[in-house]
């Protein structure tokens, strides 16, 4: 990795994480280069979501190294990490039911210049513009996912941590989420994506890290997915 360190947006090394007495991350190590889409693949309980929370500082009991553009984050609180330009979109989406779509979109503060203006977010997700006055609870699962992604694009964050963005969504919405991720990559965003669906991941990602028992056990370039389908299915228990 050393020869590519200069263009690494995110570098994780020797990352350990605990929930109370439970040791979940056992030396996670990977990197995401600027402008890449990289996935963490693995079975449920492998530590993928915990890794995103550790990067974001939401998991407080963590040790090792998490570097963003060369700056060490391991001792930083989540609010400071967010202000540096990292945004987390959780699997549960975090939509506020009591707020309408517009209010949900405007809720996160702008952390740095360069966020997408609302008119561009509406172009990405036309459904949101049509539902601006609707409460969060009135949205479909797909619309909630669009809102969750649109909300973080406003903030100016350049590294996006997306946790299972296609979980439970209809195929047509999955295609729209995929198109959005590819467009964000074209615009220079960097994306770390947790996915169970490797076939979807292979349509958007540059590389895939396979996670088992809280550590990376393999890295598969996207160009090599076709020749490694059986191995990936074995890893995932498909």
Percent of the chain predicted with pLDDT > 90? 81
Which neighbouring-strand residues pair with 220?
A: 208
Over residues 109-165, the pLDDT tens digits come to 898 888 899 999 999 899 899 999 999 878 888 899 999 999 999 999 999 999 999
Q: What pLDDT is recorded for position 211?
A: 97
Q: With cut-offs at 50, 70 and 90, classify the pLDDT of residue 94.
A: confident
- Report whether pLDDT(221) > 70: yes
**What CATH number does the domain located at 2-236 have?**
3.40.50.300
SS3 content of the chain, % helix, strand, coil (to 5): 35, 30, 35
How far, rounded to the nearest angstrom, does the alpha carbon of residue 230 sit from its chain's CA centroid?
A: 25
φ, ψ dihedrals at 163, nearest 5°: -105, 110
**Mean pLDDT of the residues in the chain:** 92
> For strand 159-163 and strand 215-221, is the pairing parallel, antiparallel, or unpaired?
unpaired
Q: What pLDDT is recorded for position 238?
A: 61
- DSSP at 116: P
Q: What pLDDT is recorded for position 5?
A: 45
- Report whether pLDDT(198) > 50: yes
Mean pLDDT of 39-53: 96
Q: What pLDDT is recorded for position 47?
A: 96
pTM of the entire predicted model = 0.93
Q: What pLDDT is recorded for position 123?
A: 92
Q: With cut-offs at 50, 70 and 90, classify the pLDDT of residue 4.
A: very low
Mean pLDDT of 19-47: 96
- Report whether pLDDT(62) > 60: yes
Domain ranges of the chain: 2-236
Measured distance CA(4)–CA(122) in Å, rounded: 36
Measured distance CA(47)–CA(157) in Å, rounded: 24
């Amino acid at each position: 990795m050393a020869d590519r360190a200069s263009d690494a947006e995110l570098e994780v090394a020797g990352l350990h994480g605990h929930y109370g007495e439970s040791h979940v991350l056992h030396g996670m190590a990977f990197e995401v280069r600027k402008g890449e889409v990289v996935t963490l693949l693995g079975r449920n309980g492998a530590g993928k979501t915990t890794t995103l929370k550790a990067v974001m500082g939401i998991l407080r009991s963590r040790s090792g190294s998490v570097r963003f553009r060369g700056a060490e984050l391991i001792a930083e609180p989540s609010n400071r990490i967010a202000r540096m330009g990292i945004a987390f979109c959780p699997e549960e989406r975090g939509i506020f039911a009591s707020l309408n779509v517009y209010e949900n979109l405007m809720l996160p503060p702008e952390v740095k210049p360069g966020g997408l203006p609302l008119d561009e977010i509406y172009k990405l997700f036309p459904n949101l513009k049509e539902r601006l006055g609707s409460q969060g609870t009135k949205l479909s699962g797909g619309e909630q996912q669009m809102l969750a992604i649109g909300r973080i694009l406003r903030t100016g964050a350049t590294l996006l941590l997306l946790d299972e963005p296609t979980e439970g969504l209809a195929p047509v919405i999955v295609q729209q989420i995929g198109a959005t991720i590819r467009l964000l990559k074209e615009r220079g965003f960097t994306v770390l994506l947790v996915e169970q669906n490797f076939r979807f991941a292979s349509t958007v990602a540059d590389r895939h890290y396979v996670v088992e028992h809280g550590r990376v056990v393999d890295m598969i370039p996207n160009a090599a997915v076709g020749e490694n389908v059986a191995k990936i299915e074995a890893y995932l228990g498909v």
